Structure 1
Amino acid sequence: MEGVNIDEILRENVRRNRSRVVDYDPIRGIGCLGVRREVDSPDSHLPELVPEAMLDDRCYIAASGDAVGWVKLRSIYDFEYWAAKCVKIKDKLTGRDVPFVLNRPQRRVLGVLEKQRLAGRPLRLIMLKARQWGGSTLVQMYMAWIQCTQCRNWHSLICAHVKDTAASIRGMYTKMLACYPQEYWAEESPPQFRPYERSINTRVISGRDCRVTVGSSEGQEAVRGSDYAMAHLSEVAFWPDTAMRSPEGFIRAVCGGIARAPLTLIVLESTANGVGNYFHAEWLRSVRGESDKAAVFVPWTEIDIYADEVRDAAALWEAMDDYERKLWDDGCTLEQIQWYHDKRREYPSRELMAAEYPLDDVEAFANTGYGVFGIDLVSRLRERCLPPVAVGDVTALSLKGFGALEGVRFVADSRGPLKVWHFPDNGMSRWNNRYVVAVDIGGRSAASDFSVIAVIDRMGASGKPEIAAQWRGHIDHDLLTWRAASIAQWYDSALLVIESNTLETENTDGEHSLYMLSELNHVYPNLYRRPLLDSVRGGEELRVGFHTNRSTKSIVINHLIGVVRDDAYVERDVDACDELAVYECRQSGRFAAKPGHHDDILMTRAIGLYVASGMPEPVLRRRSPFSRRYVKIV
């Protein structure tokens, strides 16, 4: 406690608690969303802040003198009012049925949906959840509001990883209709579900002709092909992903039929379930702005129920670890830290606690199972990723032979396989040992692994090696080796490192593919060579190419682990980060990509950075444009 004034801490804590108190009254419209105007209400007989659009409704004058008509009209324009006035939910703490007054996270999510709705856009959202703040409740009641007050014949789907979960979500809807005040229901038939034909999965809202269907990712065929306008897809990260059935295929089949029109809705929501699955990939796309869905994450610190009475502030402060001190520095109250401090005792590690109660999306996805690269470290790499400055390919006087190294130039093509973040220096300065070009050889067909050519600039602007360019595609292997040589020649006669396993083990047109490297060796001298023991003549010989086996793979991957940990290189390609995020060390000790994913980009980084680490420092070129060097693996 030395140097700490606990009284100052307590005064700051009081200030923080006061700042968290927000004056919110959805009936009077205080603290509610949207542009509002104060008018006298015939229902409450008090001034209420109502949505400005409500005043332009042709029924407004009549409703101003009718309390029931007022509630019905305002419910059409004001979801927060409708929820508090017409909806009952089960309170998580007391178990009693209470009016649905939105909490802080629910209001934030509603703000995203309302912004889209008021702009006349389709409603699209992906939501990464922490525990117990009512995200699913908010989404389901918003869909109910649309079906009960906005649209008729507007059908919805509720689909979860198991059918019981989806049925539980629809149970909220059943409770809402059962408790709906009869006087505020706009239809002649009472607010209730009625059967739809003979379906056990579908119900119809009386008087609205809106169908509500429940399903599960395990029984996909039962919900395909219907005329949905809205889809609430829950716990997507836990949906099974097999060769016969994938979340991506099912969601595409269901949501592909939902028009991009106002008041159509698609919400993907889930707690995290590691990285590399469909939900994680979709979340990253949304965060990058590449998806049609707005990304929303709610940290546990935003959830009001996660706070406990502080029994002894001085003792708590003394017991706080570095993580809890950071919570204080980031603005948490002592009550929140007391809750975290006590809750943390239930978990064997902070990482498992963070998986259930994350502070950010990085922590949420951190529990990856056998992941090699920490998700927080991969996220740090992502921060420096950029769109390429150019996309296209290189061309030369010929595809193969000496001509492949003559007249090499870049040709822009938005669909080309080569992404360039940093062009080679066209000035007078030429360098030896500046660039490394690493090649991972994939398959020829579109269904096989990609071939990747990565250019690493050892003199990056930050003083670290950084990715300057990357070629990725499918091509015949002989053409690939020459394309790599063209790119290496373009980048200042770079050291060309070709991962040679495929070429040393396969046959092509009856000839051993190692001939490709021998042919390239006669034309492009600056090739990486590995030492081999010569059992006949004694000593070592040098063979072109980097051979990946169990031993060398372990060496280069462990080197890459250290490079990523130490923030010792700059990544530019988001696809590389995606591969690092799903790279695993299996229980057998074998390194591999998560099933269904690639590691071709990752291997170019592992091999290229390892080779680069053993090269001499870059120097201005004096005489020979080539420097034949190798790195000995020990």
Structure 2
Amino acid sequence: MDEWTVESSSHEDSSFRKSRIRLGKLSDALRQIVPSQGDDLFHVQNFIENLKIINKRGELVSLIMNRSQEMVFHRLMESREKQVPARFICCKSRQLGISTLIQAFIFALITRYAYRFALVVANSIEGAQTVFSTAQRFSANLPDSECSFIPASNSRRLEYPAPHYSRLQIDTAANRNLGRGGTFHYVHASEVAFWEHPEEPILAINQCVPQHWDTLVFWESTANGAGNLFHQTWISAERGESDMEPIFLSWREFPEYSLPVAPKENLQLSIEEEAYASRHLLTREQTKWALHTKRNQCHNNWDKFHQEYPVAARLAFVFTGMPWFDQDRLQELLDNTAVSPSAKGYLKFRENSAEPEFVACEQGALDIWKLPRTDMTYSLGMDVGEGVGADYTVIQVLCNETGEVVARYRSNRVRAEIAGIDAYLLGSFYHFGLLGIERNGPGLATLTVCERGMADVQQISGYPNLYYHTFTDRKIPEETRRLGWITNRTTKEAMLSRLAQAFESGGIIIYCQNTLLEMQGLVWDAEKKAFKQSYRSAQSRLSHDDEIMALGIAYEMRMHNWENRFIAGPLPKGGEF
């Protein structure tokens, strides 16, 4: 939230100059399309760059935008050109001047337009006042030519008198009455990732801002771990699942974040540091700055450095614990492989037949990426939820030959017995592939239906290819078979270890975005020796690992098929073929 800027110089690089050229062209286009509106937006830039701030040297100077500020300003102007409500979430590195820019932009709008109301929300009153002091300084140093009204100001509000009436006020995220009974056109939510309980204030903000093109909701924050509302909203914005538009600002794009390197200077990089510099195409000057900052300002800790100065958005959200699955491969699949299903719906029995029939339906629980093929075999894993409105029941379908997850069933609107019918239908649809069902808790009811059928569903007489867990009974020195997959602490860790190894080696290909996000959030807490899920569903805001468990069981079924592929029956006594 520091007020500062970088003065323009002859050393501006080409991308910075291009940003200014784009802004000029955009302003020209606006004037041609909507003369009055374009004129206003054209003058907003000049208005902002005549506002006064205090720079790092303690001098009162004009706000000449730096590159990061230019990038954000360009996005703000674009949204107004399109005449759509402006909704942004900005994940940023430290001290880029974004809070200052948003305050300047909002101050320009409430000064130029009558009857506009703006709100600044921060985690604490001190944080809100720090941001608000920027607007107060703008007002105190505003030339008479820019405004004929003198706003009244106190510690929490800046308000123009009649007939203008526009105002800017501050509040905290802890205020239970935030936004109640009022309408705001522009809202600046500062450091949202650090709000203690962000769901309620964000809900209040969403209700008090109209869905009109001349409105703005701008979240800005450095990251503060994974799994919180800021992280989940960022993921949704990246995936295009919400109205929020993502803006990521890397430290690498900021010219000041570099240190001079002598011609023969040896930076003495570790293997990890060299890999970081190479992967992100850093110059020697940027590399020196990054290492100096990590070692001296971030306790020589990569996680802290990535959180405060991320070079890529995914690095900003530090997980508490060790990510269980390869994060680079997960991101690669999320960026390049994850796609919407080719078909969505449900399965039902054909009339007077035990054969399944697919019915397309947008509300269906079944997502299909690839239909069954006669030359392929399949394995299915099922994690059974508690029932209606509780955890999800998930079935993952894995192609044995290709390792592709070709279909996924996911619902928390079915009871365990009905889920058994759906499991039978899905298994029969994919050539009666080996079906492993977790037997813990409600899974027993599902297993009973799949093994014995249901009296009122005549088409089900028992699934012919159910998985049985084989173990040696200590009381009776012989092998015992028990229906279903048994999940306990030992089997879960072993199963997920094998799944992680197969995933890292490329043995499994996943098209489902939600499955990948669950995998991205699964971490191992070494201190508690337990798994923890940091990803929360965008819909329920709850953490789930149902899709991971179902996928793990499906992979175990695939391995079971592979191990038994040459064995037609039990071995003769003595182990001879």
* TM-score (normalised: structure 1): 0.78
The aligned residue for residue 79 of structure 2 is 116
Question: Unpaired runs of 5+ in structure 2?
Answer: 1-9, 454-459, 537-541, 572-577
- Alpha-carbon distance change, 36 to 502 in structure 1, aligned in 2, over 3 angstroms: closer
User: What is the deviation of 1:334?
Assistant: 2.9
The separation in 1 between residues aligned to 2:43 and 2:344, in whole angstroms, is 48
User: What is the deviation of 1:147?
Assistant: 0.9
Q: Residue 457 in 1 paired to residue 399 in 2?
A: yes
User: What is the deviation of 1:322?
Assistant: 6.1
Partner amino acid for 2:393?
A: S
The aligned residue for residue 159 of structure 2 is 204
The aligned residue for residue 588 of structure 1 is 528
The aligned residue for residue 240 of structure 1 is 196
Partner amino acid for 1:407?
A: E
Partner amino acid for 1:376?
A: D
The aligned residue for residue 131 of structure 2 is 169
User: What is the deviation of 1:282?
Assistant: 1.2
The separation in 1 between residues aligned to 2:18 and 2:339, in whole angstroms, is 44
The aligned residue for residue 3 of structure 2 is none
Q: Secondary structure at the match of 1:538?
A: coil
- Alpha-carbon distance change, 25 to 209 in structure 1, aligned in 2, over 3 angstroms: farther
Q: Secondary structure at the match of 2:219?
A: strand
The aligned residue for residue 7 of structure 1 is none
Structure 1 counterpart of 2:68, from 97, 105, 108: 105
Partner amino acid for 2:52?
A: K
Partner amino acid for 1:33?
A: G
- Alpha-carbon distance change, 295 to 99 in structure 1, aligned in 2, over 3 angstroms: same
Residue pairs, 1:416-455, within 5 angstroms? 416-425=364-373, 429-431=374-376, 434-446=377-389, 448-455=390-397
User: What is the deviation of 1:564?
Assistant: 3.4
User: What is the deviation of 1:354?
Assistant: 2.0
Partner amino acid for 1:160?
A: A
The separation in 2 between residues aligned to 1:259 and 1:34, in whole angstroms, is 30
The aligned residue for residue 575 of structure 2 is none
- Alpha-carbon distance change, 560 to 117 in structure 1, aligned in 2, over 3 angstroms: same
Calculate the aligned-residue CA RMSD, in Å.
3.3
User: What is the deviation of 1:485?
Assistant: 1.4
Q: Deviations over 1:293-312 (max 9, x none)?
A: 221101111112211222x2
Partner amino acid for 1:603?
A: M
CA contact (8 A) 1:33 1:111 kept: no
CA contact (8 A) 2:110 2:167 kept: no
Partner amino acid for 1:315?
A: E
Partner amino acid for 2:94?
A: R
- Alpha-carbon distance change, 25 to 277 in structure 1, aligned in 2, over 3 angstroms: closer
The separation in 2 between residues aligned to 1:504 and 1:304, in whole angstroms, is 58
Partner amino acid for 1:357?
A: Y
Structure 2 counterpart of 1:20, from 9, 13, 16: 13
The separation in 1 between residues aligned to 2:447 and 2:280, in whole angstroms, is 58
* TM-score (normalised: structure 2): 0.85
The aligned residue for residue 546 of structure 1 is 485
User: What is the deviation of 1:344?
Assistant: 2.8
Residue pairs, 1:304-319, within 5 angstroms? 304-310=255-261, 312-316=262-266, 319=269
Partner amino acid for 1:557?
A: L
User: What is the deviation of 1:175?
Assistant: 0.8
Question: Unpaired runs of 5+ in structure 1?
Answer: 1-16, 38-49, 59-72, 242-246, 630-634
Partner amino acid for 2:173?
A: S
Residue pairs, 1:203-282, within 5 angstroms? 203-206=158-161, 208-241=164-197, 247-282=198-233
The aligned residue for residue 433 of structure 2 is 494
Q: Deviations over 1:224-265 (max 9, x none)?
A: 332111211122222224xxxxx3343223212322212200
- Alpha-carbon distance change, 81 to 618 in structure 1, aligned in 2, over 3 angstroms: farther
Residue pairs, 1:84-99, within 5 angstroms? 84-85=49-50, 87-92=51-56, 94-99=57-62
The separation in 2 between residues aligned to 1:299 and 1:147, in whole angstroms, is 30
The separation in 2 between residues aligned to 1:411 and 1:139, in whole angstroms, is 49
Q: Residue 519 in 1 paired to residue 452 in 2?
A: yes
User: What is the deviation of 1:330?
Assistant: 5.3
User: What is the deviation of 1:350?
Assistant: 2.8
- Which shifted more, 159-168 or 587-596? 587-596
The aligned residue for residue 46 of structure 2 is 81
Q: Deviations over 1:102-135 (max 9, x none)?
A: 1111111111111110121111111111111111
- Alpha-carbon distance change, 592 to 184 in structure 1, aligned in 2, over 3 angstroms: closer
The separation in 2 between residues aligned to 1:591 and 1:76, in whole angstroms, is 51
User: What is the deviation of 1:177?
Assistant: 0.3
Structure 2 counterpart of 1:34, from 16, 25, 36: 25
- Which shifted more, 553-562 or 102-111? 553-562
CA contact (8 A) 2:451 2:462 kept: no
Structure 2 counterpart of 1:148, from 95, 106, 111: 111
The aligned residue for residue 292 of structure 1 is 243
The aligned residue for residue 45 of structure 1 is none
Q: Secondary structure at the match of 2:355?
A: coil
Structure 1 counterpart of 2:557, from 611, 620, 623: 611
User: What is the deviation of 1:472?
Assistant: 0.9
Q: Deviations over 1:469-510 (max 9, x none)?
A: 1111121211211210110111011110100101477xx7xx
- Which shifted more, 491-500 or 133-142? 133-142
User: What is the deviation of 1:278?
Assistant: 1.4
The separation in 2 between residues aligned to 1:25 and 1:393, in whole angstroms, is 51
The separation in 2 between residues aligned to 1:55 and 1:525, in whole angstroms, is 69
User: What is the deviation of 1:326?
Assistant: 6.0
Structure 1 counterpart of 2:331, from 379, 384, 393: 379
Q: Residue 600 in 1 paired to residue 546 in 2?
A: yes
Q: Secondary structure at the match of 2:211?
A: coil
CA contact (8 A) 1:146 1:263 kept: no
The separation in 2 between residues aligned to 1:286 and 1:55, in whole angstroms, is 29
CA contact (8 A) 1:442 1:451 kept: yes
CA contact (8 A) 1:382 1:571 kept: no
The separation in 2 between residues aligned to 1:488 and 1:143, in whole angstroms, is 57
- Alpha-carbon distance change, 104 to 493 in structure 1, aligned in 2, over 3 angstroms: same
The separation in 2 between residues aligned to 1:55 and 1:483, in whole angstroms, is 57
The separation in 1 between residues aligned to 2:15 and 2:500, in whole angstroms, is 46
CA contact (8 A) 1:420 1:468 kept: yes
CA contact (8 A) 2:16 2:67 kept: no
Partner amino acid for 1:610?
A: E
Q: Secondary structure at the match of 1:221?
A: coil
- Alpha-carbon distance change, 394 to 54 in structure 1, aligned in 2, over 3 angstroms: closer
- Alpha-carbon distance change, 316 to 205 in structure 1, aligned in 2, over 3 angstroms: farther
The separation in 2 between residues aligned to 1:329 and 1:487, in whole angstroms, is 43
Q: Residue 478 in 1 paired to residue 428 in 2?
A: no
- Which shifted more, 585-594 or 282-291? 585-594
How much identity, in percent, do the aligned residues show? 24
User: What is the deviation of 1:216?
Assistant: 1.9
CA contact (8 A) 2:385 2:442 kept: no
Q: Deviations over 1:397-426 (max 9, x none)?
A: 58xxxx8x812111000111111111112x
The separation in 2 between residues aligned to 1:365 and 1:592, in whole angstroms, is 16
User: What is the deviation of 1:458?
Assistant: 2.2
Partner amino acid for 1:364?
A: A
The aligned residue for residue 119 of structure 2 is 157
CA contact (8 A) 1:328 1:337 kept: no
The aligned residue for residue 313 of structure 2 is 361
Q: Deviations over 1:573-618 (max 9, x none)?
A: 1111222233233432122434841111111112222332343289
CA contact (8 A) 1:362 1:376 kept: no
Structure 2 counterpart of 1:193, from 141, 152, 171: 152
CA contact (8 A) 1:452 1:472 kept: yes
User: What is the deviation of 1:79?
Assistant: 2.4
- Alpha-carbon distance change, 361 to 25 in structure 1, aligned in 2, over 3 angstroms: closer
- Alpha-carbon distance change, 23 to 115 in structure 1, aligned in 2, over 3 angstroms: closer
Q: Residue 335 in 1 paired to residue 285 in 2?
A: yes
- Alpha-carbon distance change, 370 to 35 in structure 1, aligned in 2, over 3 angstroms: closer
Q: Secondary structure at the match of 2:94?
A: coil
Partner amino acid for 1:79?
A: V
- Which shifted more, 205-214 or 611-620? 611-620
Q: Deviations over 1:251-300 (max 9, x none)?
A: 22321232221220011221112222211111111111222122110111
CA contact (8 A) 2:451 2:466 kept: no
CA contact (8 A) 1:24 1:32 kept: no
CA contact (8 A) 2:424 2:450 kept: no
